[in-house]
Amino acid sequence: MSRPVLTVENLSVDYLVDPVVHAVRDVSFTLRRGEILGLAGESGCGKSTLAYGLVRLLKPPAAVTAGRAVFHAEDGTGVDWGELSTEQLRAARWDRISMVFQGAMNSLNPVISIRDQFEDVFLTHRPGMSRADRRRRCGDLLERVGVDRTRLRSYPHELSGGMRQRVMIAMAMALEPQIMIMDEPTTALDVVVQRDILREISRLRDELGFAVVFITHDLPLLLEISDRIAVMRDGRIVELGDAAQLYTAPRHEYTRTLLASFPSLTGDRGSFVRGVAS
């Protein structure tokens, strides 16, 4: 079993309104080096709130009210992200843990070229890097995700949805983080493009060795790409296990309900009468 890269212990996130909303409740899990951990659950169950809590990007009135997330460096030392100062967090984000946000296709600045947006990452986090090295690295990153380096001259509106998503993934791995958190990275993409991006994520994980927390409501998609899957309901993880085991022998009734909610490709063909399937 590989060593852990992230340990989450009894993490809770509340929205401090009246009455208080308990969005994430006592969540614990361990992310191993190089694995893809899927996080599944219906909309509103707390998946994205958990992700923002892990990287400390929550905005008021949301706040981590209990627990901690510990990042484990390659030398085995652990860092509690809750104890880092603002400056330490700014340096650590995207260097140790990066994130592809939900709706990432629209996260690019529309009036700045792709090259300039890439270079901003290096100017901020690698100020000693030469201009030639920055430009070479930007082109290499685009090609890693299957986009021609000539697209560095393009603006976001000149790219397809799939290309923009690939650009965001390339940016997330620009500083070679050990963990990438992907929040619904294939939302709003057609099925063919989704599959292409999933293949790229798996290939890059195998090639570079980073761990992934992959968040989606699409449980069949997670069964295809994940090593392990955590199922969330009402802010809690109700089941966590190997993807194959979760598919063949789910322990929790909610997991069985999620699996049953997706139509089978086999079985008797139904008829359609007056708009009602039978």
pLDDT of res. 275: 44
How many structural domains compose the chain? 1
In tens, the pLDDT along 35-80 reads 999 999 998 999 999 999 999 999 999 999 999 999 998 887 889 9
250 within a domain of the structure (yes/no):
yes
Mean pLDDT over the full length of the chain = 89
Q: Are 99 and 183 in contact (CB under 8 A)?
A: yes
pLDDT of res. 266: 66
208 within a domain of the structure (yes/no):
yes
Domain that holds residue 59: 4-105+176-277
What is the residue whose two structure tokens read 């090639």?
207
pLDDT of res. 270: 55
pLDDT of res. 274: 46
Lowest-pLDDT choice from 185-189, 214-218, 230-234: 185-189
53 within a domain of the structure (yes/no):
yes
What is the C-alpha to C-alpha distance for residues 25 and 223, in angstroms, rounded to an integer?
Answer: 24
The percent of residues in the chain predicted with pLDDT above 70, rounded, is 93
222 within a domain of the structure (yes/no):
yes
Q: Are 205 and 238 in contact (CB under 8 A)?
A: no
Element (H, E) at 50: helix 47-54
Measured in residues, the chain has a length of: 278
18 within a domain of the structure (yes/no):
yes
Label residue 73 exposed, middle or buried (CB < 10 Å: 0-12, 13-18, 19+). exposed
Q: Are 154 and 114 in contact (CB under 8 A)?
A: yes
pLDDT of res. 153: 95
44 within a domain of the structure (yes/no):
yes
Residues 6+ apart with CB under 8 A from 82: 56, 64, 68, 69
Residue 140, pLDDT > 50, answer yes
Q: Are 202 and 211 in contact (CB under 8 A)?
A: no
Residues 6+ apart with CB under 8 A from 95: 125, 175, 177
Rg of the chain taking only CA atoms, in angstroms: 20
In tens, the pLDDT along 128-137 reads 999 999 999 9
Specify the CATH number for the domain of residue 216: 3.40.50.300
Peptide bond connecting 19 to the previous residue in cis, omega within 30 degrees of 0: yes
- Tell me the two tokens of residue 27: 């969540």
Residue 276, pLDDT > 60, answer no
217 within a domain of the structure (yes/no):
yes
Mean pLDDT of 87-102: 89
pLDDT of res. 122: 94
Q: Are 137 and 174 in contact (CB under 8 A)?
A: yes
Split at pLDDT 50, 70, 90, the class of 267 is low
260 within a domain of the structure (yes/no):
yes
pTM above 0.75, yes or no: yes
